[in-house]
Structure 1
Amino acid sequence: MNTSRPAPPAGRTRLLAAGAATVTVGLWASAFVSIRSAGEAYSPGALALGRLLAGALALGAVCLIRREGWPPRAAWPGIAISGLLWFGFYMVVLNWGEQQVDAGTAALVVNIGPILIALLGSRLLGDPMPPRLLAGMAVSFAGAVAVGLSMSGEGGSSVLGVVLCLLAAVGYAGGVVAQKPALGRAGALQVTTFGCLVGAVACLPFAGQLVTEAAKAPASATLNMIYLGLFPTALAFTTWAYALARTTASRMGATTYAVPALVVLMSWLFLGEVPGPLTLAGGALCLAGVAVSRSRPRAGRAAASELVPPDAGTAAAAPERRPEPEQA
């Protein structure tokens, strides 16, 4: 069981949270390449279940080594909802949607998610909506639209695919907003591990497909599925939770607009897909918008308020609340 330790200085906390967010967006962008490879051999539900099982096993092993206990009862509603919406529903629907539309359309529609997070976070969590955040999100979304349009092919989309990607964005936003209060009552590793486990249980109906397809799939597709579970899921979702516990849901959502720019770069490096001028311009806008949304006003008071946001329904003291262990 973790023992209580003094909280690190505010400056170091911000630096660690920024580093965790950087790891998250980098690994989530790398998932683009692996999903394209694994998706050729695995159906949407089977791919999601295999990814979640690999992630849950890795996270469970770490929890055993660190002797993490069960999350407090007060954290379970957020863990369960985020596990169902984000780890389960989102992954299945997104995998399915990406088979129905081209990559550009999928990226464009799913990037509605951070906007939904900001709206839900403001309404349900009391997240502040400073002008810098709104301006940065507007710039980043314009960049995401440019990247999506530049990557969209002719005749590669369907109404069903667009609807599925939109549902994925809704599930993503709902999962993030539900996860935020849970992080006020349990550690990032606990919330991620049990959320991943909930998602895996929700995807168990696809177990038959996973077994059948794994027997026929090439080794490269299976290795990509395992990679998705270990890194973009187990590691990236943990670093996400660590950063989310130390900032607002709206600001973290805006940070994910860096993903389309990194996807463009990785597709160029690993898939040989040379980006055109519109793609490069869109990627630059995404990064510029993230920089604006993550910037802080000069006033020290405003910066401090962004570090520890007044979450409605979360700030009340709970006897089961435990200190967040420092993640190196």
Structure 2
Amino acid sequence: MSARYCSHCYALCAVLLWSSAYVFTKVALASFTPATLGFLRCAVAALALLCLAARRAKPAARDWPVFLLSGILGFSLYLWLFNTGQAGLTAATSCALISTAPLITAVMAAGLLRERLRPSGWLALALAFAGVLILTLWDGTLSLNDGIFWTLGAAVCISGYNLLQRRYAGRCGTLTLTAWSFVCAALTLSPFAPEAVRRFCLAPWTHCCAVVFLGLFPSALAYLLWAKALALAESTGTVAAYMFLTPLFSFLLGYAVLAEMPGPGTFAGGALILAGLALFQRGRS
């Protein structure tokens, strides 16, 4: 199996796991604040990944600044901004805003990593983003409040994280980089640990299960797969473009799990997203 094919598979699996985070985050926020939820999610992910990385060599001292910056951008700051923004926005608006991340990633990669996109690539990204807007806002309600700025900040953070993963995954190793980045993220959020533990002890078991699920699957497993995808990809944008699928997968999961019937916007927007991704990948081949 070629590295390029594996990269696509890893990215698809990661995005599918991320898509489940929207509904579980809404559930967990009924008992936790954005900061306490971010700490618990990072702590669960760190413990799970450290168990897998226990037999790996001790990280080099020069890699710790990378772990810290990666943990802040991709996890602690990102999750805090994302959770804060989602608390004040509709799911449709949140999905639409966070889906600007592939566009931001492409711009940052062009400027910092010299990964140039052809005109067809920019057209494909615009087409996919238009599909996201149609899918999320067809029947949804657009929220206009300060949650927009928090969520856009989260999109910038995850874009910076994508570039760090692309740059350093080969040097540090994907498992080592992801595991210790989560450790650093949990440490930066540790001031919220006492309150997080108190809320966890008082929360309904369903909310606690949502926290554990968020830590294990949309965090630990998804970010590990994402790191592998970025390490194997031909360019950062090739992987980042898959983030456009997140709202589509979220709607499909809602149908499969909650029997929420998709409307015309799901099919129209989904078709545009898939067409944009196909055009983007064809332009890279």
Q: TM-score, normalised by structure 2?
A: 0.94
Provide the rounded CA distance (Å) in 1 between the counterparts of 2:157 and 2:139. 24
Provide the rounded CA distance (Å) in 2 between the counterparts of 1:145 and 1:18. 24
Deviation of 1:41 after TM superposition, in Å, equals: 1.7
Q: Which amino acid aligns with 2:249?
A: L
* Residue from 12, 31, 42 that aligns with 2:32: 42
Q: 1:264 — aligned with what?
A: 251
Q: 2:202 — aligned with what?
A: 216
Query: Aligned pair 1:125/2:113, yes or no?
Result: yes
Deviations 1:31-79 (A, max 9, x none): 2221122122211111111111110000000011xx1123334444333
Asked whether the 8 Å contact 1:255–1:294 carries over to 2, the reply is: no
| Structural mapping, 1:11-50, within 5 Å | 12-50=2-40
Provide the rounded CA distance (Å) in 1 between the counterparts of 2:176 and 2:153. 27
Provide the rounded CA distance (Å) in 2 between the counterparts of 1:33 and 1:108. 15
Deviation of 1:296 after TM superposition, in Å, equals: 5.2
Provide the rounded CA distance (Å) in 1 between the counterparts of 2:242 and 2:63. 25
Query: Over aligned residues, Cα RMSD in angstroms?
Result: 1.7
Query: Aligned pair 1:136/2:124, yes or no?
Result: yes
Q: TM-score, normalised by structure 1?
A: 0.82
Provide the rounded CA distance (Å) in 2 between the counterparts of 1:99 and 1:163. 13
Q: Which amino acid aligns with 2:244?
A: Y
Q: 1:57 — aligned with what?
A: 47
With over 3 angstroms needed to count, the CA separation of the structure-2 counterparts of 1:78 and 1:129, relative to structure 1, is farther
Q: Which amino acid aligns with 1:187?
A: G
Mark the structure with the bigger radius of gyration: 1
Could you say which structure has the higher helix fraction? 2
With over 3 angstroms needed to count, the CA separation of the structure-2 counterparts of 1:177 and 1:25, relative to structure 1, is same
* Residue from 202, 210, 223 that aligns with 1:237: 223
Provide the rounded CA distance (Å) in 2 between the counterparts of 1:44 and 1:295. 39
> How many equivalent pairs are there?
284
* Residue from 191, 197, 209 that aligns with 2:183: 197
Deviations 1:181-223 (A, max 9, x none): 1113111101110111111111112112212211221111111
Q: 1:68 — aligned with what?
A: 56
Q: 2:88 — aligned with what?
A: 100
